[in-house]
């Protein structure tokens, strides 16, 4: 999960799909100002969970993840990591995996029953205004998998064009698409 208000992929998707605007609480531009421009967000930084109001909570979670994944592993952390989506730029990604032997805490059957009860509690909660239901981790992805297995995977027009050109062996650093400059790195 992203420790930011939205994953970088959402901003890249906005650019790929030709959507110029993003919500104001997603990112900062390169000067550190809140932005609604998807392309400016790619040059800036993502805001932490909680946005501008309670971002300190998201920042705290992000620092804990950096300690586990970067500092503890001996890998890159913070600005050393690099940008994940730029060709030719190394991304020093580090990871930490934790394995918990649930059986040392309680019988597995009891654990599964307790998790099912928790999910039932969460699913029976009233959804926030504007939402139809409460979703639990993985539920949205499982639904997307079923949909994509039956209907295919949606690919933004610009990505499709980039892939088609690459397949034909055509490469260039900037494409002109509908009158706007589109960096081929995205």
In this predicted structure, what is the pLDDT of residue 53? 59
Q: How many domains does the chain have?
A: 3
Q: Say how far apart CA 11 and CA 16 lie, in whole Å.
A: 9
The reported pTM is: 0.57
Residue ranges for the chain with pLDDT beneath 50: 172-186
For residues 49 and 175, give the distance between their C-alpha atoms in angstroms, rounded to a whole number: 34
On whether both 8 and 70 belong to a single domain, the answer is yes
**Domain shared by 94 and 119, yes or no:** no
Q: What is the pLDDT of residue 84?
A: 58
Are residues 93 and 7 part of one domain?
yes
User: Rounded to whole angstroms, how far apart are CA atoms 86 and 137?
Assistant: 29
H helix or E strand, kind and range, residue 112: helix 108-123
- Interior CA angle at 176 toward 175 and 181, to 5°? 85
Supply the pLDDT for residue 88. Answer: 67
Dist CA 41 CA 186 (whole Å): 13
Other C-beta atoms within 10 Å of 38: how many? 23
Please name the residue that has the structure tokens 């490469």.
Answer: 171
**Which DSSP helix (H) or strand (E) runs through 46?**
strand 45-46
Q: Which residues contact 87 (CB under 8 A, 6 or more apart)?
A: 185
- How far apart CA 111 and CA 105 sit, in angstroms, is 9
Same-domain pairing of 81 and 58 = yes
User: Helix or strand or coil: residue 37?
Assistant: strand
59 and 9, same domain (yes or no): yes
Q: How far is CA 166 from CA 92, 107, 160, 171, 172, in A?
A: 26, 53, 10, 6, 9
> What range does the domain containing 180 cover?
155-186
5 and 91 together in one domain: yes
């Amino acid at each position: 999960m992203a420790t930011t208000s939205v994953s970088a992929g959402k901003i890249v998707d906005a650019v790929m799909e030709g959507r110029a605007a993003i919500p104001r609480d997603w990112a900062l531009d390169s000067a550190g100002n809140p932005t609604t421009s998807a392309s400016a967000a790619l040059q800036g930084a993502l805001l932490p969970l909680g946005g501008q109001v309670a971002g300190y909570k998201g920042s705290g979670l992000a620092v804990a993840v950096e300690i586990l994944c970067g500092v503890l592993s001996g890998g890159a952390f913070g600005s050393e990591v690099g940008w994940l989506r730029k060709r030719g730029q190394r991304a020093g990604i580090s990871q930490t995996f934790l394995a918990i032997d649930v059986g040392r805490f309680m019988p597995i059957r009891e654990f599964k029953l307790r998790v099912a009860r928790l999910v039932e509690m969460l699913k029976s909660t009233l959804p926030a205004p504007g939402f139809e239901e409460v979703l639990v981790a993985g539920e949205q992805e499982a639904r997307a998998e079923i949909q994509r297995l039956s209907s295919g995977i949606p690919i933004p027009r610009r990505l499709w064009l980039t892939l088609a050109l690459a397949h034909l062996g055509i490469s260039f650093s900037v494409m002109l698409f509908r009158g706007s400059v589109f960096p081929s790195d995205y």
